[in-house]
């Protein structure tokens, strides 16, 4: 009886190629899933972002629609696991923060905490005046809460499509 020899080195190469392909497929699928979910959150945030009705001549506020226009998604490929940021970019992120949490109105100067601490009444102002506190107008957190389930579904759809193609 004759025996047949197997080239196990060939199987090792095939196994390595399959592992590399699987890793590439997983990373590509993760990116697609993140982008699908981020698209939902971005749309929710844009829908809820406040828009200035009009801008006066002396106003230093953003132009009408500027906040909404500068909401984006930012994939962080160097993070493990992959992460995607969604929100206003660096040009307008300070304004988004003030809108989300409220702020103190300061005209023609600056305001900061006194060295004595952060208790009520410890704010002092440089040149200029302070006005009333501006209440919060949250739009980021409500967008996240409203978009959570639809984003999850969008990510599942991408995953399912990828699995169908792979099988």
Q: Model confidence over 144-161: pLDDT tens digits?
A: 999 999 999 999 999 999
pLDDT at 77 over 70: yes
User: Does residue 146 sit within a domain?
Assistant: yes
Find the domain containing 79 and state its range: 20-50+65-102+137-155
The number of distinct structural domains making up the chain is 1
pTM value? 0.73
User: Does residue 121 sit within a domain?
Assistant: no
Q: How confident is the model at residue 122 (pLDDT cuts 50, 70, 90)?
A: very low
User: Does residue 132 sit within a domain?
Assistant: no
Could you tell me which residue, 122 or 88, shows the higher pLDDT? 88
Helices (H), ranges, 7-139: 8-48, 66-69, 93-101
User: Does residue 93 sit within a domain?
Assistant: yes
Q: Which of 97, 84, 50 is nearest to 69 (CA)?
A: 50
User: Does residue 114 sit within a domain?
Assistant: no
User: Does residue 116 sit within a domain?
Assistant: no
In whole angstroms, give the CA distance from residue 87 to residue 74.
9
Return left, alpha or beta for 134; rule: phi > 0 is left, psi -120 to 50 is alpha, else beta.
beta
Number of residues written out for the chain: 167
User: Does residue 33 sit within a domain?
Assistant: yes
User: Does residue 107 sit within a domain?
Assistant: no
């Amino acid at each position: 009886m004759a025996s047949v020899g197997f080239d196990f080195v060939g199987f090792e190469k095939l196994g390595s190629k399959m592992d590399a392909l699987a890793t590439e497929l997983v990373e590509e699928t993760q990116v697609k899933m993140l982008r699908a979910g981020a698209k939902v959150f971005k749309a929710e945030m844009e829908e809820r972002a406040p828009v200035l009705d009009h801008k006066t001549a002396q106003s230093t506020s953003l132009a009408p629609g500027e906040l909404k226009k500068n909401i984006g998604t930012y994939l962080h490929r160097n993070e493990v696991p992959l992460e995607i940021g969604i929100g206003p970019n660096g040009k307008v992120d300070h304004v988004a923060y003030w809108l989300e949490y409220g702020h103190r109105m300061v005209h023609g100067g600056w305001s900061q905490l006194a060295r004595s601490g952060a208790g009520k009444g410890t704010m002092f102002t440089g040149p200029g005046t302070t006005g009333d506190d501006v209440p919060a107008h949250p739009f980021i957190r409500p967008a996240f809460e409203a978009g959570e389930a639809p984003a999850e579904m969008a990510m599942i759809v991408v995953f399912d499509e990828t699995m169908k193609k792979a099988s």
